[in-house]
Structure 1
């Protein structure tokens, strides 16, 4: 059976992303929209609108037009939203690249996405330039300037006429992030203007918005759909202030919350672990925080309580203090399908949302729970694979109909690969995974991708990778089971060093075990369950 959201449907504006997200910015004028959490450099809402107009015009003057893909390889800065909305306002499609990627990984995405331009920063040029050469991309913009490339200043001072492309929000793509989906190698997730507009509109009824007084800390990367939609676009659409940090450093994170009076933090579980246990937390005033919401990976109930209780105790606010909660989503869902409402906004007759759950299906969202063994709807109260249908569901995977058909069925149901249970109040808890993906520090790590790299080593005959939970950190660590080639004597340390050169840090192999043979089915599929049972 299909479970409807416990919240009434909301109207989804028929608008392009920039016009919807920045609708209030012109009237907010000098109010800060974006603040660099380290330097204090600020872009006001009025400046943001003007910068987006100039950036879009400059891209159009470069020959870029509707549907062209522009890749962005950058850490979080106050200029990232200018770049994203400028690309979108030009009718182009922004493909964000993980800032930890190696040249080979960047080149793969550039080629697969068909990118015509790469926008980056000078510290990333040592990886960007070889990737561009390998992918055959020649147009480069370096935001902070570099020899032989235009800069952000060059684009923002363009005298080109403003552009108004004809955008159909329902069908035209706005962003092309890469995800491993439920399994396999990274794939381009086609998200339309309507997908992103819908997701911001859908989550609004679950937020107790303090109009004009919301300050969101943006430490999760904007290249990740969680950062792009939930931190950046949602915060700006509220008319709030987004405080950016280029990476997670605990002291900088805590200082930014204190100095900028941050009201909301959207984080991943490793940050909650630090808030719950690290002694540095006691040195900062975090009393401005009203809400901390965790996503990107499961949040343990005990950790949620530990972080919430400590923050309340330090602030001296008692039961009326900050709330620590959890949401759920995936890139293919733009990304939110479930979240925990702010206190007082729960469905009528329902109390506070229990820790450990991901909350309710957001408005305009339907869910099913499917028994993986039978393919039928799970009995009420039983576990099942979570299927989701709603306006936030992706259009499909770029140039990969097979993967699209495996994930998105003919009736519009997205098969998440996660196993969940729902209680009689409509609150969902994610309890397991059908899919093979490893989640490490909120990042997706595809075993198949790591196995392909490992097998490329001449001393490795076969490989299988699984995630192994670390009891101390709670993280899922990539573990490789390896078969040495005949006569080879490769060691665990040599394997780790080899992988560290080939993949981004979050994909590194953390554990190695040498075995005689990788267990496989008659069809050649790796039997990961056998490896997990070792």
Structure 2
């Protein structure tokens, strides 16, 4: 299957050149960023000048091509300056999850072989010692907003060094090394080239239709590939305005949407649950909002429709993964009528996709009517990663010799060619010889008035089998028997929940993915 749009021409250029080389004089006064907390603004002209100066300061410290710089920060305009300054210097950025412990930070920095570290003051007490433990010297540790005696962003910009005369080789040079979320196993460093990122930005431009007049809410973290490409780089390429939030808080999220007249919001399904169900939403004027785009995990159609109906917006869904820079499929903004919201839309331009039998790898054809049987989704295109850092075995297991990336996601087509994600291959629950998709049961649970949030995992049984168990955040008076009866009355016998456990919150990664391994650990006591 191919994208419906014509093939794209992908510039053979580094990320900086794609985003900023054609910045016109009249665009320098456009607002690139609004800090959602303070209202402070940063124009495109000031942004590019700061990126160049940051790159110059790093080059003066001997940092350039072949070096890796770690970036451990939350969403602020300064993140963009540091991130693109690292790339402008010809170095590689490895972005670190803002929720990581010092031990996890140190582990990633060692794996990536970082030679410099950039962070912010709220994270510095854990971040700086982790960087020091890897041997990074104090003069190469930057705390953007100031902490202790370490160099700040202001210090670096005041040095006045010109940007170095370097042009990264787009196809071969690694631009970023984000680490996969580890929701199904140990995190791995994903090597993405400049061309990978450039290609995916261009693919998203063609599909998501962001205009320069728009304001995009940036609450999904820039350190995650979804926020990095689909928010940060896409918005900058389009000359739109990003309104940043350092973390998600529903009341602050709604205030920023209202006060800054945000028109385009990129979210993950947990935020969709709040938008559909929380009474606080009705207290805010969200009339400027036109489009809500959901990614990072499957969005149930009923939940998406509830958001669309409540807010009067277009709701879209897409699909991707870190190894795909991240987007391979997305619904088309402004042309979603008639496309099932439970689908992930067609492949983005320049991308091939196929669904293959899990056992034989035989290609499953698009059916003439109804929906095809399920199989694993494979993707091929210019956004496919170079490979995993220092892990050729994992790379070989993920990438075929002819360039297909095995996503590990179970999908199906309908007769129109729409693709539907069924579940993660590694997350399927095997019960009495049947495969049970957690996402299916979670969608049914979330449709209940008794449930605010939910996750389903397989509980190991003594005979080696598994049984579905639900962790539920209750809405109203908790009643496990009622939740069980409602769910189990809607599914086949092998899909029925064994039990319901009530919890205060469902553990999720910063990008909104359910951390099933944490829930399974609760069941097994590990």
TM-score where L is the length of structure 1: 0.80
Alignment of 1:30-49 (within 5 A): 30-49=29-48
User: In structure 1, what is the Cα distance between the partners aligned to 2:89 and 2:428?
Assistant: 35
Residue in 1 that maps onto 2:523: 513
- Alpha-carbon distance change, 115 to 477 in structure 1, aligned in 2, over 3 angstroms: farther
Residue in 2 that maps onto 1:198: 199
Residue in 2 that maps onto 1:297: 297
Per-residue CA deviation, residues 40-99 of structure 1 (Å, 9 max, x unaligned), is: 111101101100100000000111011210001111111111111101110001100000
Is 2:88–2:163's contact at 8 Å kept on the other side of the alignment? no
Residue in 2 that maps onto 1:116: 115
Question: 1:477: how far off?
Answer: 6.2
User: In structure 2, what is the Cα distance between the partners aligned to 1:296 and 1:200?
Assistant: 17
User: In structure 1, what is the Cα distance between the partners aligned to 2:308 and 2:518?
Assistant: 33
- Alpha-carbon distance change, 36 to 477 in structure 1, aligned in 2, over 3 angstroms: farther
Residue in 1 that maps onto 2:448: none
Alignment of 1:460-471 (within 5 A): 471=445
Indicate the SS of the match to 1:341: coil
Is 2:89–2:163's contact at 8 Å kept on the other side of the alignment? no
User: In structure 2, what is the Cα distance between the partners aligned to 1:482 and 1:473?
Assistant: 28
Whether 2:415 is the aligned partner of 1:407: answer no
Indicate the SS of the match to 1:119: strand
- Alpha-carbon distance change, 191 to 328 in structure 1, aligned in 2, over 3 angstroms: same
Please tell me the root mean square deviation across aligned C-alpha atoms, in Å.
Answer: 2.5
Residue in 1 that maps onto 2:487: none
Is 1:25–1:239's contact at 8 Å kept on the other side of the alignment? no
Question: 1:289: how far off?
Answer: 1.1
Is 1:25–1:49's contact at 8 Å kept on the other side of the alignment? no
Is 1:89–1:164's contact at 8 Å kept on the other side of the alignment? no
Residue in 2 that maps onto 1:386: 377
Question: 1:223: how far off?
Answer: 0.6
- Alpha-carbon distance change, 401 to 88 in structure 1, aligned in 2, over 3 angstroms: same
Residue in 2 that maps onto 1:135: 134
- Alpha-carbon distance change, 124 to 382 in structure 1, aligned in 2, over 3 angstroms: same
Alignment of 1:411-430 (within 5 A): 411-430=402-421
Per-residue CA deviation, residues 309-336 of structure 1 (Å, 9 max, x unaligned), is: 0002xxxxxxxxx201100000000000
Residue in 1 that maps onto 2:484: none
- Alpha-carbon distance change, 71 to 437 in structure 1, aligned in 2, over 3 angstroms: farther
User: In structure 2, what is the Cα distance between the partners aligned to 1:149 and 1:376?
Assistant: 57
User: In structure 2, what is the Cα distance between the partners aligned to 1:24 and 1:256?
Assistant: 31
Unaligned stretches of 5+ in structure 2? 367-371, 430-436, 446-450, 463-508
Question: 1:180: how far off?
Answer: 5.1
Question: 1:121: how far off?
Answer: 1.0
Whether 2:5 is the aligned partner of 1:7: answer yes
Is 2:106–2:133's contact at 8 Å kept on the other side of the alignment? yes
User: In structure 2, what is the Cα distance between the partners aligned to 1:241 and 1:155?
Assistant: 25
Question: 1:204: how far off?
Answer: 1.9
Whether 2:79 is the aligned partner of 1:100: answer no
Residue in 1 that maps onto 2:253: 253
User: In structure 2, what is the Cα distance between the partners aligned to 1:172 and 1:82?
Assistant: 20
Question: 1:352: how far off?
Answer: 2.9
Residue in 1 that maps onto 2:326: 335
Question: 1:156: how far off?
Answer: 1.0
Is 2:117–2:141's contact at 8 Å kept on the other side of the alignment? yes
Alignment of 1:199-278 (within 5 A): 199-210=200-211, 212-278=212-278
Indicate the SS of the match to 1:432: strand
Indicate the SS of the match to 1:55: helix
Per-residue CA deviation, residues 20-53 of structure 1 (Å, 9 max, x unaligned), is: 1124544311111011011011110110110010
Whether 2:61 is the aligned partner of 1:62: answer yes
User: In structure 1, what is the Cα distance between the partners aligned to 2:101 and 2:457?
Assistant: 18
User: In structure 1, what is the Cα distance between the partners aligned to 2:253 and 2:180?
Assistant: 27
Indicate the SS of the match to 2:523: strand
Residue in 1 that maps onto 2:346: 360
- Alpha-carbon distance change, 192 to 143 in structure 1, aligned in 2, over 3 angstroms: same
- Alpha-carbon distance change, 420 to 474 in structure 1, aligned in 2, over 3 angstroms: farther
Deviates more, 1:396-405 or 1:420-429: 420-429
Is 2:380–2:404's contact at 8 Å kept on the other side of the alignment? yes
Question: 1:257: how far off?
Answer: 1.1
Is 1:388–1:414's contact at 8 Å kept on the other side of the alignment? yes
Question: 1:272: how far off?
Answer: 0.8
- Alpha-carbon distance change, 24 to 475 in structure 1, aligned in 2, over 3 angstroms: farther
User: In structure 2, what is the Cα distance between the partners aligned to 1:308 and 1:90?
Assistant: 43
Per-residue CA deviation, residues 105-126 of structure 1 (Å, 9 max, x unaligned), is: 1111000000001100122122
User: In structure 2, what is the Cα distance between the partners aligned to 1:374 and 1:161?
Assistant: 56
- Alpha-carbon distance change, 334 to 475 in structure 1, aligned in 2, over 3 angstroms: farther
